[in-house]
Structure 1
Amino acid sequence: MRHFNHLLQRLRKIVAVALLSATTAALAGIAPAHADWLKAESERFIVYSDGNEGKLREFVQELEGFDRLLRLRMGLTVEEAPPRKLPIYLVGSRRGLLQVSPDLAENIAGFYMATDEDIFGIALRDQTVNTLKHEYAHHFMMQNFAYPYPGWFVEGFAEYYATVEIEKSRILVGKYNQNRAYWLQAASWMPMTELLSKRPLQTARNRDSYYPLAWLLTHWFVGDPDRQKLLSAYLRDVGEGGDPVEAMQRATGLSPTELSRTLRRYMRGPMPYQIMTLSFPQPPVTVTRLPRSANDLLLLNQRLKVGVPDDRRPATAEEVRRAAARHPDDPLALLALGHAELHFGDAAAAEAPLQRLLAMEPDHVEALQYLVRARMEAARDAESPEEAERLENEARALLHRAYRADDANYATLLLIAENRAGGAGSPNDNDVTVLEQAFTLAPQLGSARINLAQVLMFKDRNAEAIALLEPLVNDPHRPSSGAREMLLRAKGMSEAEADAEEAEILRQGEAEDEADGEEPPTGN
């Protein structure tokens, strides 16, 4: 009997342990596995970070305050929110940057991308707030001021506001930019004539001084109320078609040589900055933890949107396949797999994961967009008109679903316009309206500007097309040769006339160097 009781006690212990293990396993199966990644969403931003939640909240609040400051300084309604929240990815090391852009230059700590599939920023966490402020200033200017600013002011504006410091009860604006100041002291300056030229010249001398000089000239203008009025007059003059070098002399009364000397004196003195005693209310920030699939696929999915060189496409598709296989039936994994197969792997294999995702989330806009793209590409390769028509009808039905799910998605609107292109009666007024909506939502996107400019030129609305194209041509980062060709057509100028105009600017720059008495430039 004693032996039986002892055996019974042992059996009870074994059953209890078994039940506890089974319960723990069941709970582990039910509870979602979380990633290191957090998603913080506020009124204007969606920020992803694999770092500390408290610092993430502080960062989002600082960005919200920065947007409000820019609105206040530029005369906009402070509480107005943009039509689209900007996604930003914060990474702990350079490895995270390379996940998105494997060929990134060594000295880059963050970047901003505008593509047909996404507009977003990415930067090293806790190190590059200024980098993100610089890029957001560009994003903000393009969103709110569709104006043909000269390239130097586009960069100078971003550089000036990149150093803003937002504290609890005050904001410091116009702080000293140590890196830019170093270049101004150590390097030969680009001639003012070349800096002021509306389009950044690829053949300009001493190009390393372009950004420092753009910052210095903007600081000189913006840091003084009287000079702010001169800047407004200058920008208005240039926007109305005035020559940017002559407009500067009309606004300031200074020749290019005199302006250069004025800036050298300004740089040697104490450079003022403004202290604004105000604070903005902190908007709510919602933080959620992403599923474990984000560790493998969040940044890799962004790489697919940025683009991959042809020789690396098969390897990229295989990388996504391996990562997605670790997370079966996960929405992010299904989306990335469908996208990778469509553009970099086997297009036919994209159908299954995207349809599976739509079975789980019928209104998943990105999945619908990728299926639209698949139908449109298949229609172009169809073997018969009937097959092409069937695929085009399927694409239109999917576009209708995507638009109904989110009528303020620029990628859907661009696909609607592309689907209509070449159709009977296109481009009609409705096509123009669709492209205008896409541009309103994503003015930072070059294709949104070019597509709209193209139909406007078809409608003999060249002046509007010119206003759309000039910011692309004037962009010091990535001047668009395609946009330049369209711009010349819209203006009725030939390549020879444009080349002659550039040669004259360079000639004036050489004369300015001689008059300034500085050491001759040493070349690029």
Structure 2
Amino acid sequence: MAGLKMFPRRWGPTRPLAIAAAAVLATMSASPARADWLRAESERFVVYSDGGANQLRQFTQELESFDRLLRIRLGVSLEAPTYRKLPVYLLGSRTAMLRVRPGAQDGLAGFYMATDEDIFGVARRDEEMHTLKHEYAHHFMMQNFSHAYPAWFIEGFAEYFATADFKRDEIHVGKYSQNRAYWLINGAWVSMEELLAERPGASVRHRETYYPLAWLLTHWFMSDTERRRTLGTYLAAVGDGADPVAAMRDATGLTTTELQRALRRYVRERMTYVVMKTSFDATNIVVTTLPKSADDLLLLNQRLKVGVPEEQRAATAQDVRRAAARHPDDPLALLALGHAELHFGDAAGAEAPLQRLIELDPDHVEGLQYLARTRMDAAAASDDRDAALRLKVEAQGYLSRAYVADDANYVTLLLIAENRADSPSYPNENDVAVLEQAFVLAPQLGVVRINLAQALLAHDRNIEAAGLLRPLVADPHAPSSTARALLQRAEGRSEADEDDVDDHDISVTPAPSDPAARE
């Protein structure tokens, strides 16, 4: 990497405002002719696309550059290991988006999912990468900074970095998005008290300005060295349990009214952004062509991981059956068919395609995981204790094979722990080690944090458990009531009121076998 220099630049008071006030019109382009699906693998990403190879390489390189930018700006070593590469699906049309996520709203440019079966991103090829950068910033924060940040900062942080603009030999950091700027100039601002204390989805007045204000407040802090130190003081206080409104007053010396005035002045005056004079070395990217089955089944298989509404499950299973029939003995077709039967069809019907899959590829990790799941589900449904034990032993055999094939797969580790959850010795030290390894691989997934926290509580490691749970309780989109109850217990508060947490019943919270529960 070339030498790094940073220079502030300013936005003039007239031109940005005129641009921000302009209406933004969405344009629709015709879907391109079907092309082969390509797979690009780089240092930290695996990207799938049915577009051209050059565009795929460029997209993958920008993702790698964005990851490096976050590492440089936030003090994370560029040499830190990547335990799990993030899969990203680059799509060319709304129709393709609907194949992954039925019912997706018009104009959806992308999304990010963390489920018990996969953690992945989806983006449109004909859109800017803003949405994906925003979601990857969340992913990066949870991977590297496990802290109970206030909701406004979680969103403001993601918005601040999502606008990063990569030029040939420099990176612009801290510029605005036209949509956010438009609302700041033309919209009624949500109150500072609600911004600081509420989640973005809460029922507050003028909620359409929540994200723009979260970005603006983050930008205000990040644009000045002294204010950055103040922000650190504030975040530490909130992480320790301080009221977010009072902590802001204590850290800045400003009332909420004074803070809002300061932000309005900041918008009217010349706002700075940072120009990083740098160029990243090109990432090694290996592009391969996927088999023809990917046209029919790659996105459909991801839909099974996202979740399908109950009324669409039978039709989805039938779609997979028809598609798989066109590709006999193809590994992706066998995997998708077994996957669909397991979730939405005949569970017994999953056996044949999954067994055939591991006959063709004995180390197929997902195939082994789904076979283990069939045994675990059958054991849970059995009234015969000996039969259930035999099924769990079979499941453990499949999971052991999956772990040997890939010891950095968090799904295997979650299943290993779940398969032992009703054992009298659970959770022993090895169980804790398994869940700790799952957490290293997938700290973004709530069930990983909850299961590890439960195991740590059983070993009186309450402080560590509390540290895992606080980010879930602070989650701006879906705060976990289970995590809140466990956190109260870890901190020794209101234990008698938490009926769903029993000191003598510490067990794994199963990852939802019903995909609809993942929505």
Q: TM-score, normalised by structure 2?
A: 0.86
Deviations 1:300-353 (A, max 9, x none): 000011111222211111110000000001010000000001111011110111
- Map 1:6-405 onto structure 2 (within 5 A): 36-197=36-197, 202-405=202-405
Query: How big is the shift at 1:493?
Result: 4.8
The amino acid that maps onto 1:305 is K
Change (3 A) 1:193 1:489: farther
Residue by residue, what CA displacement relative to the aligned partner does 1:41-84 show, whole Å, maximum 9, x if unpaired?
A: 00000000111111110111111111111001111112334210
Equivalences for 1:416-431 in 2 at 5 Å?
A: 416-431=416-431
Contact 1:68 1:79 in 2 (8 A): no
Structure 1 residue 244: Cα displacement: 1.8
Q: How far is 1:237 from its partner?
A: 2.0
Distance 1:199 1:109 in 2: 22
Kindly provide the amino acid, as one letter, of the partner of residue 38 in structure 1. L
Distance 1:382 1:496, change over 3 A: closer
| DSSP-derived class of the 1:291 partner | coil
1:165-191 deviation line (CA, Å, top 9, x unaligned)? 112211100012211111122222222
Relative to structure 1, the CA distance from residue 378 to residue 344 in structure 2 (aligned partners, 3 Å threshold; closer, same or farther) is same
One-letter identity of the residue aligned with 2:271: M
Give the aligned partner of residue 501 of structure 1: none
Distance (Å, rounded) in 1 between the aligned partners of 2:260 and 2:481? 30
CA-CA distance at 1:130 after TM superposition:
1.1
Tell me how far apart the structure 2 counterparts of residues 463 and 111 of structure 1 sit (CA, whole Å).
33
The answer as to whether partners of 2:40 and 2:286 remain within 8 angstroms in 1 is yes
Which runs of 5 or more structure 2 residues have no equivalent in the other structure?
1-33, 499-519
What secondary structure does 2:102 align onto?
A: coil
CA distance in 2 between partners of 1:462 and 1:213 (Å)? 36
CA contact (8 A) 2:38 2:288 kept: yes
* Higher Rg of the two aligned structures: 1
The alpha-carbon deviation at position 429 of structure 1 amounts to 2.0
Structure 2 CA distance, aligned partners of 1:200 and 1:454?
Answer: 29
Calculate the aligned-residue CA RMSD, in Å.
2.0
What residue is the counterpart of 2:504 in the other structure? none
Alpha-carbon deviations, 1:443-482, whole Å to 9, x = none?
A: 1111111111222233333332232222222222233333
Residue 210 (structure 1) shift: 1.4
* 1:450 equivalent in structure 2: 450
Could you give the per-residue CA deviations for residues 75-118 of structure 1, whole angstroms, max 9, x where no partner exists?
A: 11123342100000011111111101102122321100000000
**Are residue 436 (structure 1) and residue 442 (structure 2) matched?**
no
Q: By how many angstroms is 1:402 displaced?
A: 0.7
CA displacement at 1:255 relative to structure 2: 1.1
SS in 1 for 2:371: helix
CA distance in 1, matches of 2:71, 2:400: 35
Distance (Å, rounded) in 2 between the aligned partners of 1:241 and 1:271 = 32
With normalisation by structure 1, the TM-score equals 0.85
Q: How far, CA to CA, are the matches of 1:89 and 1:385 in structure 2?
A: 43
Aligned residues: 465
3-state SS, counterpart of residue 351 of structure 1: helix
Name the CA distance, whole Å, in 1 between partners of 2:199 and 2:183: 22
Segments of 4+ moved more than 6 angstroms: 495-498
The DSSP-based 3-state class of the residue aligned with 2:140 is helix
Q: Percent identity?
A: 64
Query: For the residues of structure 2 that align with 1:264 and 1:496, how far apart are their CA atoms?
Result: 47
Q: Which residue of 1 aligns with 2:482?
A: 482
Q: Which residue of 1 aligns with 2:11?
A: none
**Bigger shift: 81-90 or 409-418?**
81-90
Give, in angstroms, the shift of residue 436 of structure 1.
Answer: 1.2
Q: Which amino acid in the other structure matches residue 126 of structure 2?
A: D
